[in-house]
Amino acid sequence: MAKVPKQELGKGIRALLGNSGTQEDMRSKKKKGSQDGIAKIALEQIETNPYQPRNEFDKEALEELAESIRTFGLIQPVTLRKLDGVKYQLIAGERRYRASKIAGLEAVPAYVRTANDQEMLEMALVENIQRADLNAIEVAISYQRLIDECNLTHESLSDRIGKNRSTVTNYIRLLKLPPALQQALKKDKISRGHARALLSIESKDGQLLALQRVLLDGLSVRATEKLVKSYNHPQISSSPQRDNLTPLHHEVRDHLSRKWGTKVLMKRKASGSGQLIINFGSDDELNEILDLIEGN
């Protein structure tokens, strides 16, 4: 059976990250007098990248990488640019740089590139976009920064990174989510499919209510889409609605009733303020409800 060839990176990425070529390519570059190449650089000469798209590094993952580096060394070089004097600045590989410091290395192998601030920003962002461990919000932020700071359109960015334009647009739309939803996506509490469905709700309050419903009941993406549809297109009742509750408010109220095993009433004003009323039949039942609320 013929092997399926691995998907290549877009031409723009290969041009930006051409430092990861074969040894033969590197020898060819050196013969031509290129300033780019691999060198052993002392960690004390390296400073971090102010354009680094990532600002969170998992401590446990860093320790695991550091242990691997202690055993096998740093297999993949970091990428640097030369500054004035004997200083270098990271373009890509801050996670490897941090883990190397934890591992006690004094120097690391590095690709040394010639790049101005604009090129450095673009290389750092594109290199990070290609990482598998970036969460959706980090990818979206990187896309937006490339568009804003490198003066790219959605179309030109999609060509540059080898992605469909619709993929770029869908990621950037995630930045319109309220902070609570973005945080849930970053922490893998919901998927991109959930987030895209919740974006269909026009009001931010509605999105937040739907998020609580998704988290409380562990709804699948398809179930979330149905919930959003019921919210955007509620069935018209023959009797006038006096409690100002949307279908989502009813869902939340009914969920709490089931969870606490008692009747829960919800009152809501047109302004959005309201009350939750929890019924209980005895002090023992009240204590049971309080234990459930506190998670005991």
In order, the DSSP letters of 245-295 are --HHHHHHHHHHHHHHTS-EEEEE-TTS-EEEEE--SSHHHHHHHHHHHHT
Rounded to 10 degrees, the C-alpha dihedral 248/254/259/263 comes to 140
**Rounded to 5 degrees, what angle do the CA atoms 111, 116, 121 make?**
80
Residues 277 and 200 in one domain: no
| Structural domain count, the chain | 3
Model confidence at 189, pLDDT cuts 50, 70, 90, reads: very high
Within a domain: 79: yes
Domain containing residue 93: CATH number = 3.90.1530.30
Within a domain: 179: no
CA distance linking residue 263 with residue 286, whole number of Å = 12
Residues 24 and 102 in one domain: yes
Within a domain: 49: yes
Domain limits for position 30 = 12-115
Q: Name the domain boundary from 98, 115, 132.
A: 115
Q: Name the domain boundary from 81, 115, 149.
A: 115
Residues 23 and 106 in one domain: yes
CA distance linking residue 92 with residue 129, whole number of Å = 11
Q: Using the predicted structure, report yes or no on whether residue 52 has a pLDDT greater than 60.
A: yes
Residues 106 and 38 in one domain: yes
Residues involved in catalysis: 94
Within a domain: 21: yes
Element (H, E) at 41: strand 37-42
Q: Using the predicted structure, report yes or no on whether residue 49 has a pLDDT greater than 80.
A: no
Within a domain: 273: yes
Residues 223 and 255 in one domain: no
Residues 229 and 283 in one domain: no
Model confidence at 296, pLDDT cuts 50, 70, 90, reads: low
Residues 208 and 280 in one domain: no
| Count of CA atoms in the C-beta half-sphere (13 A) of 213 | 27
Most confident of the ranges 34-38, 119-123, 162-166, 260-264: 162-166
Within a domain: 202: yes
Parallel, antiparallel, or unpaired for β 107-113 and 78-82? Answer: parallel
Rounded to 10 degrees, the C-alpha dihedral 244/248/249/252 comes to 170
Residues 54 and 81 in one domain: yes
For the stretch 80-130, pLDDT in tens is 988 887 899 888 888 899 999 999 999 999 998 877 777 777 777 777 676
Within a domain: 182: no
**Model pTM above 0.85:** no
Rounded to 10 degrees, the C-alpha dihedral 252/256/258/262 comes to -130
Residues 16 and 100 in one domain: yes
Q: Name the domain boundary from 75, 93, 115.
A: 115
Within a domain: 292: yes
Residues 231 and 252 in one domain: no
Please classify residue 101 by burial: count the beta carbons closer than 10 Å to its beta carbon, then call 0-12 exposed, 13-18 middle and 19+ buried. middle
